[in-house]
Structures are given as C-alpha cells and as structure tokens.
C-alpha cells in the first residue's frame, strides 16, 4: 500500500465506521480515487480489505491523510454530531489551505452548521452541511444526499456526489440545495417526516394486531400487499419483512421479543422545536416525537393498563379502509414537512426549491415512496406552491381517502387504541380547511384578562374592550 499512499486522492473521508466506509467504497466503485482517516487501525484495515482492487487506502495520521489529497482538498466527515465535529475541525484547520472544502455529513444541528460556516469562512475555508439518508445499504449502493453551502464550492464535489447518489429515472438523488445550513435543515425535516411515518405505521400495526387480531404472518402479507400499491415505500416494504424474521434464540418472531420502548437521536425533536420557533404547525411529527417519549414510561403504562382495561369488543374495520387511512395520513405527514420547508426557506433565506427536494427524496432515502413523485410533480408545476393540499391532484386523492380516514380513526379511538399520529393528521386537515376558526374567542379571552388587544374583521386597527363592564 505504500506506493498508492504516495498518490494524490480526490476526496478524503474522516470516520471509517459503517456509514463512512461504505460511502467511500461506493465512491471507489464509481472510479474515484479516495482515501480515509480513522484513529482506529481496525477500521483502516477493514476499509483496505473491502476496497481491494480500487485506488483507495486509509491513514491513521491526519497530516499524512490531508497531504495525500489533491487541491482543492475535499474532506467529508462522518463522525458523531456535537463536540466531536468541532474537535475534528480544530485538528484540520492548521493543515488546510484557502479554498479547501470540509463537508459534515453527520446529523448536526443546523445552528451548529451556521456557526461553523461563519467561523471557517474567516480562514477562507468552505464548510458544507450535507445530510445523507439511506442507512448502511444506501451509503454503499446509492444514498440520497442533501448538501448546502457555498454554490461554487459545490461544483468541486458535484461530480463525485452525483455519481455516488441513488438514481431515479436516470437522475441522481442529490443536488445543491442552498446556502449556509440549508442541507442540514432539509435533512432534519426529512427525519421529522420519517418519525411521523414510522409512528403511523406503528399505530397501523397496533390496529392490525390488537384491534383486528391478525397474526404476524398475516400482518406481513398485508404490508407486502400494500407495498405493491399506492403505499409503495421503503418503510412499508421493510415493515412487511420484519414480521417474517425469526429470533434465533427462541424460534419465534423477533419483533414480539423487542421491548416496546422506542429510542431517538434527537432530529425529530429538533424539527418540532424549530417549527414552534417559526410558528409553523407540524402536529403529526410532534405526536410521533411525543409517543416515542411516552413509550419509555413502561412501568407507568403497565400500571395504568391494569386500572383502565381496553374495550373487549373486536374492532370492525376493513383492510381497505385502513389502507386508505394510512395513505391519507402519510400524505398529511409529507405535506406538513414540505410546508415547514417552505416557511423556513423564507425565514432563513435558503431559497429552497421544493421540487428539487422532492426529486432527490424519490430514491435512496428512508422516506422514499411512490407518492414523492406526486409531490415532485406538484412543486414542479407550481414553484410557488404554498402547501401540498392546494395541488389539484392531491386534493382529488384526499377527497377519495378522507371517508376511510375518518372511519378508521373514530373506530380505533372507540376501541381504546392510541392513535395520536393518525388523529393529528385528521384534525390538522380539518382545521387547515376551516375558513372560520374559533380563535376569535381566544383573542377575546386574552384581551379580557391581559389587555392584549385584538383586531376586528370589519375595521382596520388594534382594539381593546372594557370587558369588566360585562362581568359587573
């Protein structure tokens, strides 16, 4: 390997764990000369073993690693978000030259990315936040990638990213998104949508298993059949496969031995937090985050389940209604996420192109689905589309699926099945499609107890009423 280490490489990967190593191997498969750096020699050895036959190698010395790269140097980091990212940047800075590009492909918070962009620009260095979706398999064979930063710097790496990304209809699932932290922001919202869809599928599973009393084999077949229709998506596909996986220890279905306590890495919570900061509601994502948190209170849940047993009557609901309801709910989840991106683009001057985002989500990523083609077409038809529900094709789908959604949600709630995410999609739609909300009463209450004033619907200006005269 010593001869190959004397050559100049096109790109360097910092962090040779599962994601970093597989992405680097993917790039090497496409004919690019790439190298990696890791403090763990075992990771370097693994890279070189799996990368035999490619112009690819690994380093354990960061200076030798940086020196092995051609100019401008392109470095991709796949390390845990937070202080470790700053630590790696501090190590790199003395070794880099003006015009070099650092790409953070971990799930960093977009505000951290904003800070790093500003700090590194003072030294003439480019910094990109680039979300990557697709997991281990996606990284190895074609992920969806969401880069944001300096437009000219993107040109230095575009060829590699476009070759490495997943392809849909021959088009790469990567594009330049916008300035600053736009890439990490889009990935954060992607993950929020992912939380919502996973929760909706989990609630559907609850209905199938505990409401309709279906076996794991039957549930697997249902999801597999659904994946051949309008619900076709990566998450529906793998759900069907999960129920067929046997536990080597017990011989029964593994899913039945997994604790019902969901964990999270924080990106869903970040999505909820920023939506409240910019006052753009995404209730289904919020409920998905909340339900993961509720699942952790196992002892409390078990105790309350004994005190408040569920109705014993078997739930009566057709699989067709359930399929339609899940389709409606998934559409609502996507619509909420896209609306958040529309508003955030204005708030943070990202100048996001929604059609491009939908386009690169069609393949490679965790939330890829047939419906993303409809989302892409909607925003491609109208680049200024405010909300997905305003698109005529989507409106026709909603009209068709809405009765099933109402029936499924009411039936499930009456049976005592927790359907927070499902219910939120319906109340979101009903409220958003209401011309006259009861919020006038809230304004009256605020003015009554706090003199917060109100506006009138028949006269311009700001007003305050002497409500105490009524109470007296």
Predicted pLDDT of residue 314: 80
- Assign 431 to helix, strand or coil: helix
Report the b/e string of 50-67 with b at 16+ CB within 10 A: ebeebebbbbeebeebbe
Question: Which domain covers residue 420, as residue numbers?
Answer: 187-432
Quick: pLDDT tens for 17-42.
Answer: 999 999 999 999 999 999 999 999 99
CA distances 57 to 138, 311, 330, 332, 427, Å, are 21, 62, 43, 46, 54
Task: Give yes or no for a cis peptide into 72 (omega within 30° of 0).
Answer: yes
Catalytic residue among 10, 194, 237, 323: 194
The question of whether 194 is a catalytic residue gets the answer yes
Quick: pLDDT tens for 333-384.
Answer: 999 999 999 999 999 999 999 999 999 999 999 999 999 999 999 999 999 9
Do 347 and 200 share a domain, yes or no? Answer: yes
In the chain, the percentage of residues whose pLDDT exceeds 70 is 98
Quick: pLDDT tens for 419-428.
Answer: 999 999 999 9
Number of domains in the chain: 3
Cα dihedral sign for 309, 311, 313, 318?
Answer: negative
Helix pair angle (18-29, 41-50), 10° resolution: 30
Across the range 2-7, mean pLDDT stands at 50
Domain boundary at 180, 197, 219, which? 180
Q: Across the chain, what does the average pLDDT equal?
A: 93
Alpha helices in 278-370 (DSSP H): 283-295, 298-307, 319-347, 354-360
> Which element (helix H / strand E) includes 267?
helix 267-277
Q: How far apart are CA 369 and CA 352, in angstroms?
A: 21
Across the range 158-183, mean pLDDT stands at 95
* Residue 322 pLDDT > 90: yes
* Residue 469 pLDDT > 90: no
- Assign 356 to helix, strand or coil: helix
Across the range 424-448, mean pLDDT stands at 96
Across the range 302-310, mean pLDDT stands at 93
CATH number for the domain that contains residue 86: 3.40.50.720
Quick: pLDDT tens for 227-242.
Answer: 999 999 999 999 999 9
Predicted pLDDT of residue 152: 87
Nearest Cα residue to 143 out of 119, 167, 160: 167
Predicted pLDDT of residue 264: 83
CA distances 1 to 38, 41, 43, 49, 65, Å, are 16, 14, 16, 11, 14
Cα dihedral sign for 137, 143, 149, 155?
Answer: positive
This prediction's pTM = 0.94
Predicted pLDDT of residue 161: 96
Do 345 and 208 share a domain, yes or no? Answer: yes
Label residue 2 by pLDDT band (50, 70, 90): very low
Q: How far apart are CA 47 and CA 68, in angstroms?
A: 17
Do 98 and 153 share a domain, yes or no? Answer: yes
Do 159 and 200 share a domain, yes or no? Answer: no
Dihedral, 78, 131, 255, 298 alpha carbons, nearest 10:
90
Nearest Cα residue to 360 out of 178, 208, 172, 110: 172
**What's the angle, vertex CA 188, arms to CA 182 and CA 194, rounded to 5?**
140
Predicted pLDDT of residue 348: 96
Across the range 376-399, mean pLDDT stands at 97
DSSP 357-396: HHHHTSSSSTT-BTHHHHHHHHHHH-TT-S-GGGSHHHHH
> Which element (helix H / strand E) includes 168?
strand 167-168
Catalytic residue among 10, 187, 230, 359: 187
Do 16 and 116 share a domain, yes or no? Answer: yes
Quick: pLDDT tens for 119-153.
Answer: 999 999 999 999 999 988 999 999 999 999 988 89
Across the range 304-317, mean pLDDT stands at 89
Burial of 309 (C-beta count, 10 Å sphere; 0-12/13-18/19+): exposed
Do 34 and 105 share a domain, yes or no? Answer: yes
Residues 6 or more apart in contact with residue 195 via CB below 8 angstroms? 264, 267, 268, 271, 285, 288, 289, 292
Predicted pLDDT of residue 1: 40
Predicted pLDDT of residue 472: 53
Predicted pLDDT of residue 4: 47
CATH number for the domain that contains residue 323: 1.10.1040.10
Dihedral, 187, 193, 198, 201 alpha carbons, nearest 10:
-150
**What's the angle, vertex CA 454, arms to CA 449 and CA 457, rounded to 5?**
140
The question of whether 259 is a catalytic residue gets the answer no
Strands (E) located in 6-143: 11-14, 34-37, 56-59, 74-77, 101-104, 126-133
Do 106 and 167 share a domain, yes or no? Answer: yes
In Å, the largest CA–CA distance within the chain is: 93
* Residue 249 pLDDT > 60: yes
Do 306 and 451 share a domain, yes or no? Answer: no
Domain boundary at 149, 180, 211, which? 180
Do 416 and 460 share a domain, yes or no? Answer: no
Do 137 and 208 share a domain, yes or no? Answer: no
Domain boundary at 163, 180, 197, which? 180
**What's the angle, vertex CA 94, arms to CA 93 and CA 97, rounded to 5?**
75
Do 456 and 380 share a domain, yes or no? Answer: no
Do 127 and 24 share a domain, yes or no? Answer: yes
Residues 6 or more apart in contact with residue 467 via CB below 8 angstroms? 444, 447, 448
* Residue 410 pLDDT > 70: yes
């Amino acid at each position: 390997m010593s001869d190959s280490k004397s050559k100049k490489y096109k790109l360097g990967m910092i962090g040779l764990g599962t994601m970093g190593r597989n992405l680097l191997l993917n790039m090497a498969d496409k004919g690019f000369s790439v190298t990696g750096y890791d403090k763990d020699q075992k990771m370097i050895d693994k890279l070189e073993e799996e990368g035999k036959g490619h112009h690819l190698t690994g380093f354990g010395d960061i200076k030798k690693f940086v020196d092995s790269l051609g100019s401008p140097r392109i470095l991709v980091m796949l390390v845990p978000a937070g202080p470790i990212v700053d630590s790696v940047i501090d190590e790199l800075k003395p070794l880099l030259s003006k015009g070099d590009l650092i790409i953070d492909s971990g799930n960093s918070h977009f505000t951290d990315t904003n800070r790093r962009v500003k700090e590194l620009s003072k030294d003439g260095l480019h910094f990109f936040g680039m979300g990557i979706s697709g997991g281990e398999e996606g990284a190895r064979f074609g992920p969806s990638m969401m880069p944001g930063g300096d437009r000219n710097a993107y040109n230095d790496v575009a060829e590699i990213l476009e070759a490495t990304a997943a392809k849909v209809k021959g088009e790469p699932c990567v594009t330049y998104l916008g300035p600053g932290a736009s890439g990490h922001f889009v990935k954060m919202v992607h993950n929020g949508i992912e939380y919502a869809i996973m929760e909706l599928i989990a609630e559907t599973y609850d209905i199938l298993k505990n409401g309709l009393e279906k076996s794991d084999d039957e549930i697997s077949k249902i999801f597999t059949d659904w994946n051949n229709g309008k619900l076709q998506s990566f998450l529906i596909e793998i759900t069907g496969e999960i129920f067929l996986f046997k536990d080597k220890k017990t011989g029964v279905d593994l899913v039945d031995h997994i604790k019902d306590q969901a964990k999270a890495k924080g990106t869903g919570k970040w999505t909820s937090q920023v939506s409240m900061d910019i006052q753009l509601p995404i209730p289904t994502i919020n409920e998905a985050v909340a339900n993961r948190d509720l699942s952790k209170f196992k002892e409390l849940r078990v105790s309350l389940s004994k005190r408040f047993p569920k109705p014993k009557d078997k739930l009566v609901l057709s699989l067709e209604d359930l399929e339609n309801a899940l389709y409606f709910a998934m559409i609502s989840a996507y619509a909420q996420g896209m609306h958040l991106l529309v508003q955030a683009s204005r708030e943070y001057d990202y100048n996001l192109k929604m059609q491009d985002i939908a386009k690169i989500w069609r393949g490679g990523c965790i939330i890829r689905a047939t419906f993303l083609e409809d989302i892409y077409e909607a925003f491609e038809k109208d680049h200024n589309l405010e909300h997905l529900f305003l698109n005529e094709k989507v409106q026709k789908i909603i009209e068709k699926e809405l009765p099933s959604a109402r029936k499924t949600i009411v039936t499930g709630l009456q049976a005592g099945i927790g359907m927070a995410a499902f219910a939120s999609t319906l109340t979101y739609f009903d409220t958003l499609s209401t011309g006259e909300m009861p919020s006038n009463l809230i304004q009256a209450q605020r003015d009554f107890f706090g003199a917060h004033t109100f506006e009138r619907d028949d006269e311009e200006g700001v007003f305050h009423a002497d409500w105490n005269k009524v109470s007296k």
